[in-house]
Amino acid sequence: MMTDAPDAIDHDDASRVLDASPRVLMDDDDKPHEECGVFGVWRSTDAAALTALGLHALQHRGQEAAGIVSLDDGGLFHSHKGLGLVGDNFSDAKVMAGLPGRASIGHNRYATTGETALRNVQPLYADFEFGGFAVAHNGNLTNAYALKRALVRRGCLFQSTTDSEVFVHLIAISLYSTVVDRLIDALKQVQGAYSLVALHNGALLGARDPLGVRPLVLGRLPGHAGGGHVLASETCALDIVGAEFVRDIEPGEIVVIDDAGVRSVKPFGRHESRFCIFEYIYFSRPDSVSEGTPVYDTRKRIGAELARESHVSADVVVPVPDSGVPAAMGYAAEAKIPFELGIIRNHYVGRTFIEPTDQIRHLGVKLKHSANKPILAGKRVILVDDSIVRGTTSRKIVEMVRQAGATEVHMRISSPPTTHSCYYGIDTPERSQLMAARHDLEEMARIIGVDSLAFISLDGLYRALGKPGRDAKKPAYCDACFTGEYAIPLTDWQDNSEKQLSLLQPVGT
């Protein structure tokens, strides 16, 4: 049983898998956005509070909405969800008191706008014949439209426009008897990238897609021999609750955490991992360790590799804060050029929801970044950033650095050119808006206004990750936004139906 009343069903929206309404954009819109973070706790007296802390540590993975579902010892589920940051929704003692129990799951979302927004906030909850079931999902399903069409024909009534609701309906109609078998049945029908946490009366469940595109880690809470486990998108969320890192959930693995301990189910056989390489470049928090590799060190190694590949004489190496900082440190150390904070980021701008006009984007850059003139005046500057998406922010930052008196500006990017959209849970603009899909290097340098521009090569990126280079036959990571080689079929996008395409955007949860 759930204590919250479900939202009303909108039958018009029930035919839509993904909300294609225009997005309201943030002031740092010229970046790809991680779509979601997930967190789950099994057996802790402060389950909901720990979940709120975990979500707070994962705030960088989604800032538009947050939700927690808890399970009390009497088998009742409790829910609180809202638009905004974790702190906006879970700092009130009354709210937290309304989330009792020793198990809970939570979700941060980079959400869509409009009246559908709250309905799409996760975790999603449903009552089944076996009892209550809540699920939270990070990633994006690539056959959600096809599945949803079939499910709607069978009479399923969708209450949200998020692709994650497909999981709920597939579990509902499964003929298997146990919850785990029903989940396996559902997962075998979906395509795409998913890391999910789910909660039912007997267990906390975690699952990763067969290629392990999105991250999920297991941790153990101190002082709990039998239970006391957590699942999280990143290790930084384990650190904040004092949990010890146990291991990454493997690609294609389902973990069942109950009072007997942790059990692993691997229904998909062995697959090669294709973890998202962009997690190392930009998405993950630098203090996280992803797939056994510290993100901060990796970013510094990428910067060093970039310096070896595209050296240029200069007086200072300046990061575009904050995400360019570790790569710039690695670049500066390798190039033996002083590292300086020539651009200062204002951390107190606040999150302004703004319309995506060029004029407002321009203002957004100035609100967030200012030039440190004494560092830049009269200098030859190497600017290091993690990616170029539309190029609008880069252009404004270069202009600002020149106005501060830099005599030369060279831009170095710690990712290869982003030439393709992500369909696996990262919000990137469509290809026509990606600068690197429309222009060659020379044109990009001219548009951005730099004296030279260089991106790290794909092989260089793989070398920074400890590989000899990119194995074209068997790449170790998902790198589709740089190569266009999508390892998971894009079933919904391969249907030529005009109506279908108009409803689909590469949007995840």
Omega of the bond leading into 123 within 30 degrees of 0 (cis): yes
Residues 305-324 close enough to bind ligand SF4 by CB under 6 A = none
479 near ligand SF4 (CB under 6 A) = yes
Determine if 480 is a binding residue for ligand SF4 (CB under 6 A): yes
Q: Which stretch binds ligand SF4 (CB under 6 A): 166-174, 203-211, 443-451, 473-481?
A: 473-481
Question: Which residue in 105, 171, 207, 426 binds ligand SF4 (CB under 6 A)?
Answer: 426
Return the range that interacts with ligand SF4 (CB under 6 A); candidates 17-25, 184-192, 202-210, 478-486.
478-486
For the chain, the distance separating the N- and C-terminal CA atoms, rounded to the nearest angstrom, is 25
Helices (H) and strands (E) in the chain, counts: 19, 25
Q: Is 422 annotated as a binding residue?
A: yes
Reply yes or no: is the peptide bond before residue 322 cis, omega within 30 of 0. yes
Query: Is position 190 an interface residue for ligand SF4 (rule: CB under 6 A)?
Result: no
Binding segment (CB under 6 A) for ligand SF4, from list 36-44, 335-343, 344-352, 472-480: 472-480
Cα(424)–Cα(214) distance, integer angstroms: 8
276 lies in the binding site for ligand SF4 (CB under 6 A)? yes
Contact 234, 196 (CB under 8 A): no
Q: 156 among the known binding-site residues?
A: no
226-245 footprint of ligand SF4 as x/- string (CB under 6 A): --------------------
**Min. distance of Cβ 422 from ligand SF4 in angstroms?**
3
CB of 426 to ligand SF4, least distance (A): 4
Residue 478 binds ligand SF4 (CB under 6 A): yes
Question: Would you name the residues annotated as active-site residues?
Answer: 36
Q: CB 120 → ligand SF4: shortest distance, Å?
A: 20
- Does 384 interact with ligand SF4 (rule: CB under 6 A)? no
User: Tokens 């590949």 map to which residue?
Assistant: 309
Count the neighbouring beta carbons within 10 Å of the beta carbon of residue 269.
7
Q: Please, which residue, 244 or 485, has the CB nearer to ligand SF4?
A: 485
Q: How far is the CB of 234 from ligand SF4 (least distance, A)?
A: 14
Which residue's entry shows tokens 């949990």? 243
Task: Identify which of residues 259 and 485 has a Cβ nearer to ligand SF4 in the complex.
Answer: 485
Per CB under 6 A, which region of 169-177, 227-235, 257-265, 418-426 contacts ligand SF4? 418-426
Is residue 170 at the binding interface for ligand SF4, with CB under 6 A as the rule? no
Q: Which stretch binds ligand SF4 (CB under 6 A): 184-192, 307-315, 447-455, 476-484?
A: 476-484
d(C-alpha 134, C-alpha 69), whole Å: 7
> How do strand 293-294 and strand 289-290 relate by DSSP bridges?
antiparallel
CB-nearer residue toward ligand SF4: 59 or 483: 483
Q: Is 276 annotated as a binding residue?
A: yes
Give me the count of residues in the chain. 509
CA distance 86 to 109: 10
The letter for the amino acid at 333 is A
How many other β-carbons are positioned within 10 Å of the β-carbon of residue 477?
23
Provide the β-strand partners of residue 273.
none
Q: Tokens for 305?
A: 């590799």
Among 34, 17, 10, 12, residue whose Cα is nearest residue 163: 17
Using H for helix, E for strand and C for coil, what is the string for 236-304?
HHHHHCCCEEEEECCCCCEEEEECCEEEEECCCCCCCCCEECHHHHHHCCCCCEECCEEHHHHHHHHHH
Least distance to ligand SF4 from the beta carbon of 299, Å?
15
Residue from 213, 221, 249, 458 touching ligand SF4 (CB under 6 A): that is 213
Residues at the annotated binding site for [4Fe-4S] cluster?
276, 422, 478, 481
Residues that bind ligand SF4 (CB under 6 A): 213, 276-278, 422, 424, 426, 478-481
